Amino acid sequence: MNRQTLLEMLQQQGVTRRGFLKYCTALTSLMALPPSMVSAVAEALETARRPSVIWLSFQECTGCTESLTRSYSPTIEGLIFDHISLDYHHTLQAASGTAAELAREQAMHENKGKYLVVVDGSIPLDNPGFSTIAGISNVAMLKETVANAVAVIAVGTCAAYGGLPHAAPNPTGAVSVSDLVPDKPLINVPGCPPVPSVITGVLAHFLTFGAIPELDELGRPKVFYGQSIHDRCYRRSFYDKGLFAESFDDEGAKKGWCLYRLGCKGPMTYNACATLKWNQETSWPVESGHGCLGCSEPNFWDAGSFYKALSIPDGDYARAAGYAVAAGVGIGAVAGLLNKNTKANAVAKHSSVSVDDFAVNKNNNNEGA
């Protein structure tokens, strides 16, 4: 099938060369590439053909699609979705029943070896009948659809790691996409839900370069998941000074102090919320006054209370806290230093920082720092 190039599509819609370059500048920025890459992006997009995308939704809450559609026109998200061919999407397509399944089969047949599969939701293995679409079990539909795909994108924490359905006691035997698709290029885009511009940024990267971006050890694009929420949080200076809100309505909370003691999981969570934000870059959870829940990390539903403060390993913390008291250093600064060291050690060993690296406070939240 001879699909239009992106440039042809934009020209058909009356977009000028100047507008096209503006679009390329926005895309380059979205993909966190340096401005010097704009001309390379423009060159690639002039000849890029719109890829066929088949979007499968399994055990999920529709939150990932809702996140993506929470945008106002015209947006970069809208442009990208105008310029891929979204041939099958349970939630967004008008067709249903046999016609919908025919669209999926047609897209697979006509774009064999070239189409992208996006999956949201986990897949139940205990009983194929737990979740079916058009009488086809999720596991059978996934395996059939990815067989001739060029790459697979697992959108949302359910698809990436099993998510809420996988939480103990995992009544459906839910697994992630990577558990069932070991032999295809796979990108995990976790989040509950993921930031919309992260989803579109990953698609933009594929559209531009025809390849998947560099991934971390959990299969996440490093460009969006390379730093922790804590690394990029605007409340970080309060953390470093040891200024913590103790309740959601105290003076510290009103002054925008750090939410660490109220359970913020920002120090062990890798995502781009703090920079890309939500709802057209209006705000993000920590800016709205609530701690990060750690939604882009594996098993976050089973990692303990959202409102229980993290602490750092007892030995290091106790030793450093002693020095801090002697030196008059803020306790948050010590925690910050140790967290930085924990991360630096993990980076040096090419391993991720997980909740296990930050012991959950066993006493009470006020001792969490």
Which residues are at the interface with ligand SF4 (CB under 6 A)?
191, 229-230, 233, 235-236, 239, 258-260, 264, 266-267, 269, 271, 273, 284-286, 291-296
CB of 142 to ligand SF4, least distance (A): 25
What is the number of other CB atoms lying within 10 angstroms of the CB of residue 42? 19
State the nearest-atom distance from the C-beta of 271 to ligand SF4, in Å. 4
Which stretches does DSSP call E strand in 179-253? 186-189
- Nearest residue to 118 (alpha-carbon basis) of 31, 208, 212, 24: 212
Task: Provide the 8-state DSSP code for 36.
Answer: G
- Separation of alpha carbons 23 and 323, rounded Å: 53
- The residue (of 23 and 225) whose beta carbon lies closer to ligand SF4 is 225
Q: Which is nearer to ligand SF4, 150 or 355 (CB)?
A: 355
**Token digits for 226?**
């390379």
Q: How far is the CB of 101 from ligand SF4 (least distance, A)?
A: 33
Tell me whether residue 43 or residue 250 sits nearer to ligand SF4 (CB atom). 250
- Cβ proximity to ligand SF4: between 183 and 249 the closer is 249
Least distance from ligand SF4 to the Cβ atom of residue 281, Å: 14
Min. distance of Cβ 221 from ligand SF4 in angstroms?
A: 15
Looking at the Cβ atoms of 87 and 357, the one nearer to ligand SF4 is 357
Quick check: 153 and 190 in contact, CB under 8 A?
no
Q: Of 111 and 269, which has the nearer Cβ to ligand SF4?
A: 269
137/339 with CB nearer ligand SF4: 339
Q: Report which of 52, 55, 58 is spatially closest to residue 85, judged by C-alpha positions.
A: 52
CB nearer to ligand SF4: give 173 or 304: 304
- Whose CB is nearest to ligand SF4? 266
Closest Cα to residue 271, out of 67, 74, 119, 76? 67
Closest distance to ligand SF4 from the beta carbon of 214 (Å): 20
Task: Kindly tell me the burial class for residue 82, based on how many C-beta atoms sit within 10 Å of its own C-beta (0-12, 13-18, 19 or more).
Answer: middle
81/270 with CB nearer ligand SF4: 270
Residue 279 CB, nearest approach to ligand SF4 (Å): 12
Question: Shortest gap between Cβ of 345 and ligand SF4 (angstroms)?
Answer: 19
CB 124 within 8 A of CB 166: no
Q: Which two tokens stand for residue 255?
A: 């002054």
Q: Which one, 206 or 301, has the nearer CB to ligand SF4? A: 301
Minimum Å gap between C-beta 93 and ligand SF4 is 27
Main-chain dihedrals φ then ψ at residue 288, nearest 5 degrees: -85, 0
Provide the minimum distance between the beta carbon of 346 and ligand SF4 in the complex, in angstroms, as a whole number: 17
- Residue 95, Ramachandran bin (φ over 0: left; ψ between -120 and 50: alpha; else beta): beta
Residue with tokens 């934000």: 277
Q: Which single residue is written with the structure tokens 């016609």?
A: 99
Query: Which of 200, 193, 202, 195 lies closest to 220, judged by CA?
Result: 202
Do residues 314 and 362 touch, judged by C-beta distance below 8 A?
no
CB 26 within 8 Å of CB 74: no
Q: From residue 40, give the alpha-carbon distance in Å to each of 51, 65, 113.
A: 19, 30, 25
Coil, strand or helix at 88: strand
